[in-house]
């Protein structure tokens, strides 16, 4: 069975005189045919987790736990796999990445077509017609052949997003990681992007959507994992997490939506170099009690929460 299983994944950055606990004991499962949204405030560790899965961490990073990728051969622990193996067998082939600000990741002096055909040649070196395959992949991402003749500076935000989607799909990966894909896009472009993600899921792929845009997650995700200060504090079906959140931080995120109470969460997230020993959200939580001085663990079940005094 093809799936990605994270088991107590942690990422720490060693700095002079300090350690940044960017990701702290994250456990999560992603399967084909679903969109899992990883949500939380900026700086909570969502993008660091994505980079850890693909081996894009800097040299001062230390990882622990396992991120097991199954299907197409023996199970592979992404955290313990060499960069050469990740480049040859995982990146773009089993896991595709749509990076944050995709236009900034495109080569400015080459057309979208040239960049897409180059990736085709890398992933399909025996294909006698890279251009035809590039056109087919572009069509799946909602691009016409004429769109591919544009340079990055000629692409709108939505068009650059589609080019990034096409580049990520060339190797036919079963899992697509999309890192803050709705940032800077207007409502019309967000609508189109969500439709594209749902089509991928309907085709049997999986999407791991990393976002602070809870409204977008609400519209596209099958399951939502809420991350705070490097930890997953709640995970469950999207409707359950959004309509009946069990963690007080999740409740705060939902209440901050414009169509809900539109009330911001008081206070600021803790420094990742100085996390409290117990519940990291306790200093901002109105329901905090003495028991919160010890760290809660994620409960079992379809709708799990890491809270001593859940909603």
Distance CA 15, CA 214 (A): 32
How far CA 15 is from CA of 12, 61, 156, in Å, comes to: 10, 10, 39
Distance CA 55, CA 73 (A): 20
Cα dihedral sign, 19-25-31-37: negative
Distance CA 135, CA 148 (A): 9
For the chain of 311 residues, list the mean pLDDT of each consecutive stretch of 10.
96 95 97 97 93 96 97 92 95 92 87 95 93 91 90 89 89 93 77 86 95 90 97 97 97 91 90 93 95 96 97 94
DSSP-derived pairing of the beta strands 206-211 and 95-98: unpaired
pLDDT of residue 251: 96
Q: Is 7 helix (H, G, I), strand (E, B) or coil?
A: strand
Residues near 202 by beta carbon (within 8 Å), at least 6 away in sequence: none
Strand arrangement of the beta sheet that strand 206-211 belongs to: 95-98, 175-179, 206-211, 35-39, 223-228, 231-237, 304-305
Decide: residue 305, CB within 10 A, 0-12 exposed, 13-18 middle, 19+ buried.
Answer: buried
Of 250, 308, 234, the residue nearest 278 (C-alpha): 308
3-104+174-305: which CATH architecture?
Answer: 3-Layer(aba) Sandwich (3.40)
pLDDT of residue 189: 74
The H or E element containing residue 157 is helix 157-169
Whether 58 and 40 have beta carbons less than 8 Å apart is answered as: no
Q: What angle do CA 272, 223, 248 make, to 5 degrees?
A: 50
What is the CB neighbour count within 10 angstroms for residue 262? Answer: 9
The H or E element containing residue 227 is strand 223-228
Buried b (16+ CB within 10 A) or exposed e, 152-188: beebeebbbbbbbbbbbbbbebbbbbbbbbbeebeee
How far CA 190 is from CA of 52, 97, 158, 193, 291, in Å, comes to: 27, 18, 8, 5, 42
Whether 131 and 166 have beta carbons less than 8 Å apart is answered as: no
Distance CA 200, CA 16 (A): 44
């Amino acid at each position: 069975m093809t799936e990605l299983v994270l088991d107590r994944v942690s990422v720490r950055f060693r700095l002079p005189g300090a350690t940044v606990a960017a990701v702290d004991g994250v456990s999560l499962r992603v399967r084909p045919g679903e969109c899992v949204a990883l949500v939380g405030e900026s700086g909570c560790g969502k993008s660091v987790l994505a980079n850890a899965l693909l081996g894009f961490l800097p040299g001062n990073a230390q990882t622990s736990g396992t991120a097991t990728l199954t299907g197409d051969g023996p199970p592979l622990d992404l955290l313990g796999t060499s960069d050469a193996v990740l480049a040859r067998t995982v990146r773009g082939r089993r896991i595709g990445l749509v990076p944050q600000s995709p236009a900034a990741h495109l080569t400015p002096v080459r057309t979208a077509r040239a960049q897409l055909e180059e990736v085709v040649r890398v992933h399909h070196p025996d294909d006698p017609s890279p251009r035809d395959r590039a056109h087919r992949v572009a069509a799946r991402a909602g691009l016409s052949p004429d769109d591919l003749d544009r340079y990055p500076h000629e692409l709108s935000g939505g068009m650059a997003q589609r080019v990034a989607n096409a580049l990520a799909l060339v190797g036919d990966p079963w899992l697509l990681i999309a890192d803050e894909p709705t940032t800077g896009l207007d409502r019309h472009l967000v609508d189109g992007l969500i439709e594209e993600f749902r089509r991928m899921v309907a085709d049997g792929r999986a999407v791991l959507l990393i976002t602070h845009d809870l409204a977008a997650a609400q519209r596209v995700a099958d399951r939502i994992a809420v991350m705070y200060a490097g930890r997953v504090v709640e995970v469950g079906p999207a409707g359950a997490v959004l309509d009946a959140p069990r963690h007080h931080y999740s409740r705060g995120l939902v209440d901050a939506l414009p169509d809900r109470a539109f009330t911001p969460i008081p206070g600021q997230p803790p420094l990742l170099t100085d996390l409290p020993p117990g519940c990291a959200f306790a200093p901002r939580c109105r329901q905090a009690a003495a028991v919160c001085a010890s760290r809660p663990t994620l409960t079992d079940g379809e709708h799990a929460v890491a809270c001593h005094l859940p909603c």
